[in-house]
Structure 1
Amino acid sequence: MIKRLIVLIICLMPLFQYAQDFSALWKGHFSYNNIKEVVQGNGRVYAAAENAVFSIDLVTNEIKELNTINGLSGETISTIYYSEAYQLLVIGYENGLIEIAFDNDDEILTVIDILEKPTIPAVQKRINHFNPYRNLVYIATNYGISVFNLERLEFGDTYYIGNGGSQIQINQTAVFGDYIYAACSGGNGLKKALVASPNLIDYQNWQTVTTGDFTAIETVEDKLYAVNANSQLFQVVNDVLNPLFQYNTPPLEVKNVLGNLVVTTSNNVFVYNNSFTIVSQVAISPDFSTQYTSATTDANFVYIGTTDFGVLKTPITAPDSFEEIHPDGPLLNNPYSLEFKNQNLWVAYGGHGVFYNWSGGRQISGISNYQNNKWLNIPYDAFSSKISEPHFLSKVAVNPFKENQVFVSSYYSGLIELENKEVSKIHNKTNSTLIPFFEEFYLTDLCEFDANGALWVTNGRVKAPLNKFENNTWKSFDFSSIISSPSSNLGFGDLVIGADGTIWLASYSNGLIGFNENNGSPKIKSVYKEEENMPTEFATALALDNRNQLWIGTFSGLRVLYNTSTFFDDNVEVDEIIIFEDGIAKELLFQQLITDIEVDGSNNKWIGTADSGIFYLSSDGQKTIYHFTKDNSPLPSNTINDVSIDSTNGVIYIATSKGLVSFQSGSSSTFDTLEKAYAYPNPVRPTFNIVDQKVKIKDISENVNIKITDIEGNLVAEAQSRTNQRYNGYNLEIDGGTAYWNGKNLANNVVASGVYLVMLSDLDTYETKVLKLMVVR
């Protein structure tokens, strides 16, 4: 009955919509360490992290995740509430958005009434608290109180209860006896009104019980409690406030759980029974250096939300042992840079603002490593005892010849060397050519290994900003011929290394810089002027594609250097890419601030932007294969910080300002030979949707012809690497090292059961290979 009613309301109410589930090709890699709130219901504890939720089954300990992959918005969560009566989870956000997740349903209902209310300023739309009463939920916000009907899934009235009906901040509401009470900020105190009154929208029907600032109000059976901004807890009796307890730190949350009053501060959880006697007090454990944020209980345990360890579970009667509970995930939800090497993904979180300023980075950070579907987090504490503070870790480089050796650049402390994921050495002015630009401030940023195993490192605002570390020897290179003074070097956005040893740098003040050691006679050149067709001198991202063409991202669009081999010899001019939309010529990514460019196994381009999501372009940029934003994909933000590609498996890792996600593109790198080529699934069984899921022919070479025939030699499908490329509607498509067949023949009909031959022919080496494929329909 409820679901039928929901469908009717969705048809009638344009401010409701269902979010799409993207779990087929996308995967979320969210951090669940920093918990905003924990609640319980229906045998589960629900924990809201910054922009995702997980739940724990109290019997089986099963953990389920709910994030943008399932349809959540990715916005910042402020509070949650679980309704046992209606078996749904209500999620409130900082921006006023509300989302509802139904038990045993894959869809998320999005409610945007508050979010899109034009008469409420954006800064006042925050959802502070959900208070259930019968079939309603009273929503405390920074503008007043809104009423939502859980049975009909529709909004009722909104109460502006400040003086003259003004908008004021309501932190929490509670129903006690015949009245609804509101805890208000801004000196508006405690207010109350008859809950059954049909005219609560009239502010004059709300009485002021007392003035001041109040952060919480809660009913526990026959008692009413309130907390003011001075951290004092009161029992409210006949509208008189009787002091009960003064907390050393401000209560962050006051709630009724199973007839007990639960008060959470940053370093304690207090559980009181109906006589206001302590049932349990849980202090911070020395084993878990963190802060508490929220708590709930069942009959035996206290479940505590923390800022660093997800949910801590401890016995209610003897809270001296703790169990850490949260899904496996990275350290934080603001990844700054990514590095995928040797089937390992490395994530750094520190970074810095544009032009090496202090804003935009995270001082207290660490790094994460993802391998074999498991996360290993190396927190701030692992670095803080070895290096100076602050350190703003920004980039990870993995030695291709020594997998256990990893270097992490630090915006402050130099270059940090890790051996077996432990800090082993700090490279600074005492043992390298890295020097600080001021006192002990190092602006060490980009680091990348070349094909010979030499590590190249940039160091900002110094005369010699490029450094090379090879065979335990450091060498630096002077850029004063193109950068007039160290102070005018505002930093570098990217560094890539060509097959000929040329170091390409995206400079924030000198556009594109090319540098080559040239056997001891270094060559250096920059391209940044308007007459060189650069849209700005601020270059941000670089990528060398499979044809040795250099793609250049800037603050104001995209450029390509098609001939890199003559860069140091000719007068260079870079090119924009012109595309046609509806017959009109336009510049591709005109005026876009590009944050990263990556090239996949098909020579296609993934281009991240500062505020428009990520673009997936054909090899020449003429076709946009995908344009993912937070509105049409699980991206939690349109701000793309970095992208890295697992070329073997065709996985695209995307770091956004609000978390890390990955996309299974299916595009993989090519192989030198056809020796390892294979087809799967094989056999193709009747349960396999061959048209949509497609048969994959993996590990093929770069320039290959593929013919599929039946056992009698009749041609069924044919493709060639540079002709039948993916996303063009062919029955047989080739995408880098993988080909896709939808099971259809030349007449566009799905083939019958039988044995089919997949004949591979490398057009460069003339190597051939034949695979047998069984199709059962």
Structure 2
Amino acid sequence: MYRFLLPLYLLCLGPLLLPAQPLIGQWQSWLPTLPAIAVAQQGDKVYCATSSGLFSVTTGAEQDISRYSKVNGLYDIGIRAISSNENGVLIAYRNSNLDFLSGSNSYNLPELLRKQTTSDKTIFRIYPGGSNMYLCTGLGVVVVNTTAPEIAATYALGPVYGFTVLNNQYYAATATGVKTSPMTGTNPADYRNWSAVGQLADTVSNILSFGGQLICQQGTKLYILQNNAWEPYYSGVTNLAVQGDYLTISNPTSIVFIGKDGSVGTPVQDGLLKAIRQTTGDKQYTWVADSLSGLLQYDGQTFSTISLNGPASILTGQLLFTNNTLYAPAGGVSDSWAANNNTGVYYTYSNGDWQQYTDSLHHDIMVMAPDPAGNGLYAGSFGNGLIHIASDGTRTYELPNQKISGLTTDASGNLWIAVYGASYNLVCKKPDGTYLTFRSTYAQSGNAISQLIADDAGQIWIVSPQSNGIFIYNTVSNQWTQYRQGSAQGNLPSNDVNCMAKDKNGSIWVGTGTGIGVIACSTCDAVWPIIQQGNFAGYLFQDEEVTAIAVDGANRKWVGTHKGVWLVNEDGTGIVENFTTDNSPLPGNRIYSISINPNTGEVYFATDQGLMSYRGTATEGKTMSKDSVLVFPNPVTHDYGGNIAISGLADNSLVKITDVSGRVVYQTWSKGGLALWNGVDYTGHRPQTGVYLVFASSATTGEHLVTKIVFIN
């Protein structure tokens, strides 16, 4: 099985589009750039594997970077090892799946993944030997012919941790020492043709040939084979590799180069060397995969970091899209609401560029909200209080040592703050800077509150974890209401509430541990939407853990769970889309947060494996004018066969597309402010080369010419 492989940045391009604006239905990935776990060089490219992704950098002065994921050719996620030869790069995943990148093609080799066996299929290391790659696995050595490419043989030796070839002999580092077998004349697939080498009887973790000699690693010690006996060679080693005329050995914070003549260089240390995982290189550069610093380049004098445009870590906080910018905090809490103790980091994404901001004094920044006064925004640290970040970057710290678990603003310019665990855990910061504190009149275990929503009636809706359901505080009447499970108590599907969202009708959608409830007013019981699928009907997400809800421009709901993400229609009675790791590029099925760019319809999913976005089919409606309406792609070239998007429309606009003579070729309704055309007329044919006129009308406007589309066949 193979795919055509494209660098990720090419997939983001369409005719007359900026790189940051993918086409309708396209995905973009921003998988974590840390930790770096493996590195390999193939030709003029160096490949670096991270916990969730892969990228390459050219070795020339330009250092062009390409990123690889399930969006553009890979078949899996969770890399364990990589290696390269003249044919390409072999990628081994933690689940034992394999991908092979060769030129512009990506081949999947799933045989080991699918192999039914009780043996351990973990892949520990890959040794490149000519056109073959030798996988060191828990069941033995698996040989991959990279010319085909295909799995060619298996040598069932039990766990093998390292492998090399010298003088027409195979050598394997095993749990019972080093073993060898001739490359020719016998069958290495028969374990009886392997014999012990030397006196080491315990686990040997690696072996390689250097300068015509064998060197193996046991624990942190190296041994060299002399007269069929293993003699001590070097100690304090965690990794070793052959780099041209040098043996490169390293521990977590230093590298030593040993020449073929046995000369030992001075240990190389640097502030960037913090947790070395693997090294590779040539005569010009040494490349280092460091867990904490990422991919490093060493020119013999200095180390430099290869910087990627994207977040370095998993984003466990609540995503926020405001002022044309995505804010992505990296802090969070466990399922039991204990702080993750992540450094106080958040990221911003705007106009195709990512920026990282770090506050080392405030760990676990997990929620953010715009400043109601328009001067920057607020960030909440779970344990270190509230941070005001002004537009000029100035920071002010308030509510010290408090666990900020939720933020929202209301129409009166107030900032509402959830302080987890405090006696008076609902706090209001007024426009004049003074504070008011409140506490629910209902019992609440652990004084636990988190997400907040301000509705249009002056009420604050409050998620209360630890099975407390939802509280509502009416700021006008100073009254409290509680929603819980049970017909007389609010009729939530469960008391375990994870998230909420307010839709365009003012209804509150509540995500719980066993499904969704919809509350139309503060005195209404929650209704459980019934979804129809074929001849079967059931409650929406019944018995599913709902972790995130976001409302798009057409009032549809994107719903995140522990089993992927769904798009349901406005009233929750039908499924529009469903994405999982099995049927889409989604990197992980556990969804932490969802946010939507209202102008483009791009939907951002923060998962347990990294961030991914999908260009949706609905945007927020606008006050319609010629200047507000945009068609993309435009012009439509002969080789384009996707949807043509018309954005910047008013809500629920009627859109007509005509030729210059006035003949209607297509008509549709917009979803929010976005209409789609598949590029064919009512007869199923593609329009001829020419200019086509787009007319739109809404409930409040007559029909107007709003833009034009050019077809080039």
Structure-2-length-normalised TM-score: 0.90
2:314 alignment partner, one of 323, 333, 346: 333
Residues in 2 aligned to 1:406 and 1:540: alpha-carbon distance in whole angstroms:
24
Q: Residues 215-614 of structure 1 correspond to what in structure 2 (within 5 A)?
A: 215-229=205-219, 231-247=220-236, 251-278=237-264, 281-285=267-271, 288=272, 290-316=274-300, 319=301, 321-358=302-339, 361-364=340-343, 366-379=345-358, 383-384=359-360, 386-387=361-362, 391-403=363-375, 405-419=376-390, 424-428=395-399, 442-470=402-430, 471-479=432-440, 481-484=441-444, 486-487=445-446, 489-492=447-450, 494-508=451-465, 509-518=467-476, 521-531=477-487, 532-561=490-519, 563-564=520-521, 567=522, 570=523, 572-610=524-562, 612-614=563-565
Q: Is the 8 A contact 2:652 2:673 kept in 1?
A: no
Residues 754 and 776 of structure 1 are in contact (CA less than 8 Å); yes or no, is this contact kept in structure 2? yes
1:530 alignment partner, SS class: coil
- Secondary structure in 2 matching 1:761: strand
Structure 1 equivalent of residue 18 of structure 2: none
Q: What is the CA–CA distance in structure 1 between the aligned matches of 2:240 and 2:206, rounded to whole Å? A: 6
Deviation at 1:675, TM superposition (A): 5.6
In 1, Cα distance between the equivalents of 2:633 and 2:204? 66
Q: What whole-Å deviation, never above 9, does each CA across 1:82-133 have from its counterpart, x for those lacking one?
A: 111x2x110112222211111122xx32222332333236xx3321111123
Please give the alpha-carbon distance, in whole angstroms, between the structure 2 residues aligned to 1:261 and 1:109. 32
Partner deviation per Cα, 1:380-436 (whole Å, 9 max, x = no partner): xxx23x34xxx3221122325435x3322222222233335857233225xxxxxxx
Whether contact under 8 Å (1:54, 1:63) holds in the other structure is yes
After TM superposition, give the deviation of residue 478 of structure 1 in Å: 0.9
- CA shift, 1:741, in A, is 2.8
Report deviation, 1:255. 1.4
Measure, in 2, the Cα distance between the counterparts of 1:49 and 1:683. Answer: 37
Q: Deviations over 1:520-556 (max 9, x none)?
A: x412111112224322101111111111121111111
Q: Which residue does the alignment assign to 2:671?
A: 735
- How has the CA–CA distance of structure 1 residues 199 and 533 changed in structure 2, closer, same or farther, with 3 Å as cutoff? same
Q: Which amino acid aligns with 1:267?
A: T
What count of residue pairs does the alignment treat as equivalent?
690
- Structure 2: where are the runs of 5+ without partners? 12-22
The residue identity in structure 2 corresponding to 1:621 is G
2: CA distance between counterparts of 1:352 and 1:683? 45
The alignment partner of 1:115 has SS state of: helix
Which residue identity lines up with residue 289 of structure 2 in the other structure? G
Return closer, same or farther for 1:688/1:158 CA change in 2, 3 Å cut-off.
Answer: closer
Kindly provide the amino acid, as one letter, of the partner of residue 336 in structure 2.
F
Q: Write the distance in 1 (CA, Å) between the matches of 2:600 and 2:509.
A: 24
Structure 1 counterpart of 2:531, one-letter code: I
2:14 aligns with none
Amino acid at match of 2:242: N
SS at match of 1:356: coil
Q: Which amino acid aligns with 1:653?
A: Y
Counterpart for residue 5 of structure 1: none
Question: Counterpart of 1:457 in structure 2: which amino acid?
Answer: I
In structure 1, the residue corresponding to 2:164 is in which secondary structure? strand
Quote the Cα distance in structure 2 between the aligned partners of 1:118 and 1:297.
37
Runs of 5+ unmatched residues, structure 1? 1-9, 11-16, 162-166, 430-439, 725-733
Indicate how the Cα distance of structure 1 residues 743 and 63 shifts in structure 2: closer, same or farther if over 3 A, else same: closer
Query: Is this contact kept in 2: 1:349–1:362, CA < 8 A?
Result: no
- Residue 193 of structure 1 aligns with which residue? 181
CA distance in 2 between partners of 1:39 and 1:671 (Å): 50
Matches of 1:654 and 1:682, distance apart in 2: 25
CA–CA distance in 2 between the matches of 1:367 and 1:559? 31
Alignment correspondent of 2:44: 43
Deviation string, structure 1 residues 696-750 (Cα, Å, up to 9, x no partner): 332111243333344444443333xxxx4xxxxxxxxx12112223344444444
Alignment deviations for residues 612-671 of structure 1 (CA, whole Å, 9 cap, x no partner): 111112212233221111112111111111111111111111111111111111421101
**Within 5 Å, which residues of 2 pair with 1:92-103?**
92-103=92-103
| Separation in 1, partners of 2:5, 2:581 | 12
Q: Where does residue 730 of structure 1 map in the other structure? A: none
* More deviation, 626-635/109-118: 109-118
Q: Deviations over 1:332-372 (max 9, x none)?
A: 134433111111111112201123135xx353452111122
- Residue identity in the other structure for 1:278: V
Bigger relative contact order, structure 1 or 2, given CA contacts below 8 A and separation 6+? 2
Counterpart of 1:693 in structure 2 is 643
CA contact (8 A) 1:559 1:574 kept: yes
Quote the Cα distance in structure 1 between the aligned partners of 2:280 and 2:633. Answer: 51
The amino acid that maps onto 2:299 is P
2:146 to 123, 145, 150: 150
453-462 vs 761-770, greater mean Cα deviation? 761-770
CA-atom RMSD in angstroms = 2.6
In structure 2, which of residues 585, 597, 619 is the aligned counterpart of residue 668 of structure 1? Answer: 619
Instruction: Report the CA distance shift for 1:298/1:507 in structure 2 as closer, same or farther (over 3 A).
Output: same
What amino acid is aligned across from residue 495 of structure 2 in structure 1? E
Residues 192 and 365 of structure 1, relative CA distance in 2, 3 Å threshold: farther
Whole-Å Cα distance in 1 between the matches of residues 249 and 76 of structure 2?
29
Identify the residue that residue 111 of structure 1 maps to in structure 2: 109
Contact 2:317 2:332 (8 Å CA) reproduced = yes
Letter in 2 for 1:233: L
**2:69–2:77 contact (8 Å) kept in structure 1:** no
**Kept after mapping to 2: 8 A contact 1:157/1:201:** no
Identity %: 23
Q: Does the 8 Å contact 2:4/2:104 carry over to 1?
A: no
Q: Distance in 2 between matches of 1:154 and 1:213?
A: 30
Amino acid at match of 1:300: Q
Which secondary structure does the structure 2 equivalent of 1:36 belong to? strand
Cα displacement (A) at 1:776: 4.9
Q: Mark the CA change 1:421 to 1:672 in structure 2 (over 3 Å): closer, same or farther.
A: same
d(CA) in 2 for partners of 1:640, 1:53: 21
- Change beyond 3 A, Cα 1:171–1:741: same
Q: Deviations over 1:175-222 (max 9, x none)?
A: 22343222234xx23333334330443257332631233222111130
Q: Tell me the distance in 2 between the aligned counterparts of 1:676 and 1:551.
A: 35
Paired residue type of 2:91: I
**Match status 1:141 vs 2:137:** yes
Residue 756 to residue 204, structure 1, CA distance change in 2 (3 Å)? closer
Q: CA–CA distance in 1 between the matches of 2:225 and 2:634?
A: 72
Using a 3 Å threshold, how does the CA distance of structure 1 residues 406 and 148 change in structure 2: closer, same or farther?
A: same
| Contact 2:315-2:328 within 8 A present in 1 as well | no
- What's the counterpart of residue 622 of structure 1? 573
Question: Structure 1 residues 272 and 422 mapped into 2: Cα distance closer, same or farther (>3 Å)?
Answer: farther
CA distance in 2 between counterparts of 1:18 and 1:760 reads 40
Deviations 1:315-340 (A, max 9, x none): 22xx2x22221321112134433111
Partner residue, 1:6: none
Q: Distance in 2 between matches of 1:184 and 1:697?
A: 61
Name the aligned partner's letter for residue 223 of structure 2: F
